[in-house]
Copies of this chain bind each other. A is one copy, B any other.
Amino acid sequence: MEEPDIRRLLDRVRTGRLSVAQAVERLRHLPFEDLGFAKIDHHRALRQGFAETVFAPGKTPQQVAGIVRGMLRARASQHNILVTRAGEGIYRAVRRLSRQAKFHPLSGAITIRRNHTSSGKGLILTLSAGTSDIPVAEEACLTGEMMGNRTEAIYDVGVAGLHRLLRHREKLEAARVIICVAGMEGALPSVVAGLVGVPVIAVPTSTGYGTSFAGLTALLAMLNSCASNISVVNIDNGFGAGCFASVINHL
């Protein structure tokens, strides 16, 4: 029952074709979303940028292709499409559906760009500490891009070689939101957040060995940062960081 149905119901009350008691009864069983929250999805699209996403792990190439086919039909040419953590097999299946499909082998992302307007207000800059953090950083960066943001990425600027980071001072100052991707000791966000005045989103990665505990150490370090313009997302959650950055960048 959508808004037109409610209008119709009230019309029938107005014209006496439906008693008040009957109307009360029907209203009580009204699905929740008919009454106001339905518009939220629309708001979300406006505020967070336009993108449809498929999380590939656990799905067959056929399943992913089926979902993408639905997306391509449903809202033609309006939204970008992003498949995360896919393999070559999934890419081949998606490629058959759209010539624009592009595979990013480091992160396993597949992108189908259909909307080239940049609705975000500033630059989302993604930094990563080590070479093994690049897959997660790329996922974050592509997510931001597919949601309509201008993005850039600088890799391999870990804190044990400070000069590599400081060389990019101007870029740091130009960003509106910064995503910091780091494994091991997870110190990069603390250092970066001390150098800038914008929100820093910290993404721990599951790189490293031994006591890196698959990213737990980096996560804990980031949560304990002595800087106060930092917040944190789940381990390896490049997608979440890109979304959160896009939401901020669309405010």
Residues of chain A whose beta carbon lies under 8 Å from any beta carbon of chain B: 3, 6-7, 10-11, 13-14, 16, 20-21, 23-24, 27-33, 35-38, 40, 43-48, 58, 121-122, 129-130, 132, 158-163, 166-167, 169-170, 173, 176, 183-187, 190-191, 193-199, 201, 204, 206, 208-237, 239-241, 243-244, 247-248, 251
Separation in Å of the A239 CB from the closest CB of chain B?
A: 7
Interface of A is mostly: helix
Question: By the criterion CB–CB under 8 Å, are A244 and B199 in contact?
Answer: yes
Q: Give the complex CA separation of A16 and B33 in angstroms.
A: 27
Question: By the criterion CB–CB under 8 Å, are A24 and B46 in contact?
Answer: no
A14, A23, A206, most chain B CB atoms within 10 A? A14
Q: Give the complex CA separation of A203 and B227 in angstroms.
A: 16
Within 8 Å by CB of A159, from B43, B159, B215, lies B159
Q: Known: A159-B159, A206-B210, A210-B215. Is A231-B186 also a contact (CB below 8 A)? A: no
Cross-chain pairs A/B with CB under 8 angstroms, 21 sampled: A13-B13, A14-B20, A29-B169, A31-B167, A32-B162, A32-B169, A33-B163, A37-B169, A46-B197, A48-B197, A129-B226, A130-B226, A187-B187, A211-B219, A212-B224, A228-B239, A228-B240, A231-B244, A232-B233, A248-B251, A251-B251
